[in-house]
Structure 1
């Protein structure tokens, strides 16, 4: 999450999960130490992004205000749009991280408006379904914010965000109030309690197991198919594009979900990003990230 040499910041890549949760709960989301991922730097690096407009808003959710940010390229009529949710292990991430801000700007620059969504992090007393409720509230507000009906909107997200958007669609399918999206795009998603070995026993001492248990809130909730939609039915989803990365430990989760949906007769495309690792779209300009963004935009246009 951060550069280990950044002054005053721990190296979240090596920090034990309980310590990372404690630090984030006490200090909040740290500023990204990279000096070339803010919006001004992105526009200098990628001139095609300069025409994208963005504005912040908020949605009333059951647990409080949900921050959102709208992106669009003026002068281009949109037939569809994307609701996008960043990752961060359910404990971190923000609308300013490249996985949210840069990705949304790139998609919007391709003529697809984007509503980027933040959510409550699982720090302290917040656990599932709180972040899921936040995303659901933003989804319900998206047609008004984007000016398009829900049946012309696609919802997608990366990593923990991929879990949340897939879980929200499963909740809508299973009776939650709200309209279903036109499509679903989970990117390197964590759809199982143990994404590296779907169907296996979760090791509560492993980093992945600790993040899953912290998100779920209890050992019993690890079996909740709305918290981990890879455990539920594969039926009833809209068309799906799932992106998996060749060098990602969570790749088995996305691939197992694809098999689940296909076995239920659903429509799902799998985009394998060769040579890429988990989190690659949080790195602006990465060749694999640009291929993934193109794949997402092309798939959305085809809906």
Structure 2
């Protein structure tokens, strides 16, 4: 890996750009996690991930999206200050705006191919933004869609399926990892939306998208945590993508809890960065191309995993 140029703020503070040390033409618009209400550009799964990928050739554009409020009970439980915030669609709009800014400035950034992704709640925002771009193209516009969507231990459903017996047993054996039960996940989404999840659209909860709504979605790579109840959401969304004809790959990072990209000192961080970098490297010969509605992909289903 090579050294990385000094990151800098751009787009009126919406993004922080991490120029690649030895650019290969790939770029990544990246969103951190934090339950929609927490996190920032300095947390490891934002800053450390961006620096690691920039050092291996990818220019990373990290998004400082607007956060939902932190309720008093959450703040007390996490030992963090309570803060005000904004509800959906603010963060989703910020992801789309950051994507469009990056596309418009791709030549200056040295980007020829561009991925979109994020961790946890940031994975939700990335998937929702990709759907928004896709449907904008379908409705007669011309949007540049991601060449690849990268979702790291994402949350994509407000109401998740029940974990498998093996996953349930692993969670029971590791109470510290068992943090994303049905009530916690539902409460997170209600706080993000500012109300009930009933009637929410697919850009807020991508796991609700139908097969028809997912047709033409970009090639997707999902990397899930091992002992992590949100793994159920990532696996279910991948299955829905495959049913819609999307090329989707799912992998599990063994021995991890949720949020392992926030722990750069752990071996799993480097392992996941290597996995992500390998997928980005496949884009090196790809060129950003606007996608008119008439040319959206209708490929045959493909899903692979480990």
Shorter-normalised TM range? 0.7 to 0.9
Name the Cα RMSD after superposition.
2.4
Residue 204 of structure 1 and its aligned partner are, at CA, apart by 11
Per the alignment, do residues 290 and 195 of structure 1 end up closer, same or farther by CA in structure 2, a change over 3 Å counting? Answer: farther
Which of 99, 103, 107 aligns to 1:139? It is 99
Are the equivalent residues in 1 in contact too, given 2:128–2:203 (CA < 8 A)? yes
Deviations 1:34-93 (A, max 9, x none): xxxxxxxxxxxxxx56x112332232xxxxx5531111234x242211111100000111
Which of 81, 84, 87 aligns to 1:127? It is 87
Task: Specify the alignment match of 1:184 in structure 2.
Answer: 149
Task: Specify the alignment match of 1:11 in structure 2.
Answer: none
User: Which SS does the other structure have where 1:54 is aligned?
Assistant: coil
Which of 48, 56, 60 aligns to 2:8? It is 56
Per the alignment, do residues 204 and 101 of structure 1 end up closer, same or farther by CA in structure 2, a change over 3 Å counting? Answer: closer
Report how many residues are paired.
Answer: 245
Aligned-partner Cα distance in 2 for 1:196–1:189: 14
How does 1:231-242 map onto structure 2 within 5 Å? 231-233=208-210, 234-242=214-222
| Long gaps (5+) in structure 2 | 70-83, 164-179, 284-306
- Bigger relative CO (Cα 8 Å, ≥ 6 apart): 2
Tell me the TM-score normalized by structure 2: 0.74
| Long gaps (5+) in structure 1 | 1-47, 60-64
How does 1:32-71 map onto structure 2 within 5 Å? 51-59=3-11, 66-71=13-18
Aligned-partner Cα distance in 2 for 1:238–1:196: 24
Deviations 1:268-287 (A, max 9, x none): 00011111111000011211
Residue 206 of structure 1 and its aligned partner are, at CA, apart by 2.1
User: Which SS does the other structure have where 2:130 is aligned?
Assistant: helix
Deviations 1:188-243 (A, max 9, x none): 00100034649xxxx99922211110112221556321101011033221100011
User: Which SS does the other structure have where 1:223 is aligned?
Assistant: coil
Deviations 1:130-175 (A, max 9, x none): 1000111111001344436987100110001000000000011111
Per the alignment, do residues 164 and 290 of structure 1 end up closer, same or farther by CA in structure 2, a change over 3 Å counting? Answer: same
Tell me the TM-score normalized by structure 1: 0.75
Aligned-partner Cα distance in 1 for 2:104–2:43: 25
Task: Specify the alignment match of 1:18 in structure 2.
Answer: none
Task: Specify the alignment match of 1:104 in structure 2.
Answer: 50
Task: Specify the alignment match of 1:161 in structure 2.
Answer: 122
Per the alignment, do residues 114 and 100 of structure 1 end up closer, same or farther by CA in structure 2, a change over 3 Å counting? Answer: same
User: Which SS does the other structure have where 1:244 is aligned?
Assistant: strand
Residue 95 of structure 1 and its aligned partner are, at CA, apart by 0.6
Per the alignment, do residues 209 and 220 of structure 1 end up closer, same or farther by CA in structure 2, a change over 3 Å counting? Answer: closer
Task: Specify the alignment match of 2:73 in structure 1.
Answer: none
Q: Does residue 210 of structure 1 match 2:170?
A: no
Are the equivalent residues in 1 in contact too, given 2:32–2:46 (CA < 8 A)? yes
How does 1:1-303 map onto structure 2 within 5 Å? 51-59=3-11, 66-74=13-21, 76-123=22-69, 124=84, 126-147=86-107, 152-175=113-136, 178-195=143-160, 197=162, 206-220=183-197, 223-233=200-210, 234-303=214-283
